[in-house]
């Protein structure tokens, strides 16, 4: 099978670099070129201390064709550096469309991971799970997200439990059905801004790796724990609100110390 996301990240430190490119924050007449050089330098400098690199698709899509081309080059560069990749696209649609989304990410880039939205149910997610199994990938299902408005739906009472715990029950069943050593092909997105939910969901999802966003700019505090991949975007890619390689290295070291307990 070649590259395998689950086994790769299990052997690495639990910090994930989130890449949310903002060309306006890069100086000079060619901001995309500056952005690309900066991203390459940062990934190389941090490579030994990261679990993965997470590319937020919306920021690349906003740049049109140039953004898509940049995304492909950076994903390829991450793999050359030996870094696992998370495609943060939050895909979710009916089965035939899901198959196309899975081909464009998990199967185009074997050994990578993809974030998905479970709202359409299990039949819409099955193509992603199948593609992950074929390609050595992993699917992170949104369970409890880091944004304040997540409570609007995710905390609704669903037969005596919040809805996110009901979602977790289904994710747990999928995780059992799609095993991969030492975890599963099915993981969960669990916002670090909700520490109580983080603990409850670990008990509910013993086989699932967690992608934990919210570190830094959203105010989440790093909490050591098995199977948690903590993602930092703005605070790590743009420390202080600008591209700064030295500051990013210092911030990464601080996060690693905190996550080491």
CATH of the domain at 106: 3.20.20.70
237 has a pLDDT exceeding 60: yes
184: its two tokens: 């599963």
Reference 138, options 207, 43, 60; nearest CA is: 207
| Domain region containing 116 | 5-259
Alpha-carbon gap, residue 202 to 90, rounded angstroms = 21
Element at 171 (helix H, strand E): helix 163-177
Please check whether residue 213 is in contact with residue 219, taking contact to mean a CB–CB distance below 8 angstroms.
no
Rounded to an integer, the average pLDDT of 51-64 is 98
90 given a catalytic annotation: yes
Domain count, the chain: 1
pLDDT at 219: 81
pLDDT at 261: 74
Q: Which pTM was predicted? A: 0.97
Alpha-carbon gap, residue 121 to 234, rounded angstroms = 31
Of 22, 90, 234, 256, which residue is the catalytic one? Answer: 90
Over the range 166-197, which residues count as b (16 or more CB within 10 Å of their CB) and which as e? bbbebbbebbeebebeebbbbbbbbbbbbeeb
Rounded to an integer, the average pLDDT of 134-156 is 96
1 has a pLDDT exceeding 70: no
pLDDT digits (tens, 9 = 90+) for 149-175: 999 999 999 999 999 999 999 999 999
Rounded to an integer, the average pLDDT of 4-9 is 97
């Amino acid at each position: 099978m070649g590259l395998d996301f689950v086994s790769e990240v299990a052997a690495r430190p639990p910090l994930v670099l989130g890449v949310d490119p903002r060309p306006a924050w890069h100086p000079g007449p060619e901001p995309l070129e500056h952005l690309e050089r900066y991203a390459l330098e940062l990934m190389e400098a941090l490579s030994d201390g990261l679990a993965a690199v997470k590319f937020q698709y919306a920021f690349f899509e906003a740049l049109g064709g140039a953004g898509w081309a940049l995304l492909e080059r950076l994903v390829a560069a991450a793999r050359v550096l030996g870094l696992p990749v998370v495609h943060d696209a939050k895909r979710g649609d009916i089965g035939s469309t899901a198959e196309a989304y899975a081909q464009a990410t998990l199967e185009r880039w074997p050994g990578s991971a993809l974030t998905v939205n479970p709202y359409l149910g299990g039949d819409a997610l099955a193509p992603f799970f199948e593609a992950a199994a074929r390609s050595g990938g992993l699917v992170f299902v949104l369970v409890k997200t880091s944004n304040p408005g997540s409570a609007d739906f995710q905390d609704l009472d669903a037969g005596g439990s919040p809805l996110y715990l009901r979602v977790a029950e289904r994710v747990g069943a999928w995780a059992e059905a799609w095993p991969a050593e030492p975890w599963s092909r099915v993981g969960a997105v669990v916002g670090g801004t909700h520490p109580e939910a983080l603990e409850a969901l670990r008990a509910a999802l013993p086989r699932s790796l967690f992608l934990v966003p919210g570190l830094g700019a959203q105010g989440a505090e790093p909490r050591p724990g098995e199977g948690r991949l903590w993602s930092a975007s703005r605070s790590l890619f743009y420390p202080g609100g600008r591209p700064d390689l030295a500051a990013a290295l210092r911030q990464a070291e601080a996060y690693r110390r905190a996550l080491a307990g």
